[in-house]
Amino acid sequence: MKKVGKLWLIGGTGDSVTIVQTIRDHSFPCLITVTTSTATNLYPTNLLSSIQTDKLDTAGIQKLCNRETVKGIIDASHPFAVNISRQAMQVARQEGIPYLRYERPLLTNNSYPIYLDSFEDLITGNYLQNKRVLLTIGCQNLCRFQLWHQQATLYTRILPKLDSLEMALKAGFPASQIIALRPPISLQLERTLWQQWGINLVVTKASGKQGGENIKVQVAQALGIPLIIIKRPLLNYPQQTEQLSDIIEFCYQCFK
């Protein structure tokens, strides 16, 4: 079977590394895109793949698909990275390119946390009032909490990047209430951080085991601390899977 063109893998997550290794095992050519140079270090060397660092918009995606003769799009971006997913789906529809979303498995049978549909539900509710809150929600959403600094003591954990720190400071977080750590965070370290800061409420996103959600559930239960989990955005994906076998089948279909 002659393979002309490439697969495009929207990467930057731990899940995408496993997917790339599986694609490599089946000898499919693949272009990986990530948004930061740090993310390129996730991937092993000697891949049948090239890695491009770029923050793509719709026009950039169209150029990439045409330049690389993209045969199929595998979207393994973060569950909350909705912009790239929407834009990739739009271009896929316009150009007639097959698209498959890899959605990391949700944690199930967790009755302990409080699940909310959105950050708006959290902010407009009375969940944070007079609490010592740890936000593990990424730096992009910290600006939403600016008005809450007078009504609660807010801490945040962010990635150790300059732009993340700048966002946290701009959102009103004092330096003493910011910690920069790169996941994964062990259960013991997670527990120690919560205890050191006297946290009595934690807010996180439904990012699955890969995002440390299971660790937070365990620590919250052990310490008796309420845990609020923001649900994933709902997008209407044309195809979606949690199985690597489906991804390989998709690859073969793209090059049929």
pLDDT at 3 over 60: no
Domain pair 6-105+234-254 / 114-230, same fold: yes
Q: Which of 127, 128, 36 is nearest to 78 (CA)?
A: 36
One-letter amino acid of 49: S
**Which tens digit of pLDDT belongs to each residue from 63-100?**
999 999 999 999 999 888 899 999 999 999 999 999 99
Domain 6-105+234-254: CATH architecture, name and number where available? 3-Layer(aba) Sandwich (3.40)
Q: How confident is the model at residue 111 (pLDDT cuts 50, 70, 90)?
A: low
d(CA 42, CA 169): 28
Q: Quick check: helix, strand or coil at residue 8?
A: strand
Q: What is the pLDDT of residue 110?
A: 58
Type and span of the H or E element at 74: strand 70-75
pTM for the model: 0.79
**Which tens digit of pLDDT belongs to each residue from 191-215?**
999 999 999 999 999 988 888 899 9
Q: What is the pLDDT of residue 1?
A: 44
Q: What is the pLDDT of residue 109?
A: 54
For the chain, what percent of residues have pLDDT higher than 70? 95
Boundaries of every domain in the chain = 6-105+234-254, 114-230
Q: Which has more pLDDT, 150 or 4?
A: 150
**Which tens digit of pLDDT belongs to each residue from 20-50?**
999 988 989 999 999 888 788 888 766 656 8
* 114-230 topology per CATH: Rossmann fold (3.40.50)
Q: What average pLDDT does the chain have?
A: 91
DSSP state of 55: -
Q: Which has more pLDDT, 23 or 2?
A: 23
pLDDT at 226 over 60: yes
Q: Residue 40: which residues within 8 A CB-CB, separation 6 or more?
A: 34, 51, 53
